[in-house]
Chains A and B, each alone.
Chain A
Amino acid sequence: DVVLTQTPPTLSATIGQSVSISCRSSQSLLHSNGNTYLHWLLQRPGQSPQLLIYLVSRLESGVPNRFSGSGSGTDFTLKISGVEAEDLGVYYCVQGTHAPYTFGAGTKLELK
């Protein structure tokens, strides 16, 4: 199975600070059809997860553009350019290129 390693496990930030989360895959996530099925989710406390970024870098409708995704192959990054209070929670990367779909262990974003 594909293992997604997220770092750091915990991130402390002040409001307005820019932060990045890394997601590294144990194998390439480039599908034979040319797509890379690597997505980013945010789970706020007490809520269901929500999709932020899909296919590495595409911003889901309604998601603020301070969120951005980048990467290719096995290395991916989620960047938040100017953290806001509503961004606190746990961030997960998830891959849909190889069965079974797998999730990273999560990165908890806290206020410093």
Chain B
Amino acid sequence: EVQLVETGGGLVQPGRSLKLSCVASGFTFNNYWMSWTRQAPGKGLEWVASITNSGGSTYYPDSVKGRFTISRDNAQNTLYLQMNSLRSEDTATYYCTSGAFAYWGQGTLVTVSS
């Protein structure tokens, strides 16, 4: 059974940092591009970052470029999202997803507020 389990969410002040983790199981992690997608409360979905299966290339939308960093540890089947300079508009549930959005985690809530 495929599982993606995100951790690391919580309440953080504007301007501070937070690092999310996602542990994968049930599929060959290092064969897949991986992504983070977020959903603000009551809103739609927004792609946040993607990384190739080797970790050699990363991609971001302008809304997070320069503030967020996606990375992976294939030996540990783990995906990360380092989020710096957080803003109130980054408040959302963050989902770990596989390439082409086939697999989704349960999400972890990040709240940016003073």
Please report A residues at the B interface, Cβ cutoff 8 Å: 1, 37, 39, 41, 48-51, 54, 60, 92, 94, 96, 99-106
Contact = CB atoms under 8 A, between A and B. Distances in A.
A104 B60 CA distance: 18
Contacts of A99: 59
Nearest to A50: B104
Interface residues of B, number: 18
Given A49-B45, A100-B47, A102-B47, A94 B101 contact: yes
Contacts of A1: 61
Nearest to B35: A101
Contact of A100 (B61, B95, B102, B104): B61
A103 B47 contact: yes
Contact of A48 (B60, B62, B100, B107): B107
Contact of B100 (A50, A96, A103, A105): A96
Given A92-B45, A100-B62, A101-B50, 10 more contacts: A1-B61, A48-B107, A49-B45, A49-B104, A54-B102, A94-B45, A100-B47, A100-B59, A103-B47, A106-B45
Interface of B: 35, 44-47, 50, 59-62, 95, 100-102, 104-107
B51 to A, nearest CB: 13
A48 B102 CA distance: 12
A49 B46 contact: no
Contacts of A41: 45, 101
A101 B47 contact: yes
Nearest to A94: B101
A73 B85 CA distance: 38
A11 B59 CA distance: 34
Nearest to A41: B101
Contact of B95 (A39, A49, A54, A105): A49
A48 B95 contact: yes
22 contacts: A1-B61, A41-B45, A41-B101, A48-B106, A48-B107, A49-B45, A49-B101, A54-B100, A54-B102, A60-B102, A92-B44, A94-B47, A96-B101, A100-B59, A100-B60, A100-B61, A100-B62, A102-B47, A103-B46, A103-B47, A104-B44, A106-B44
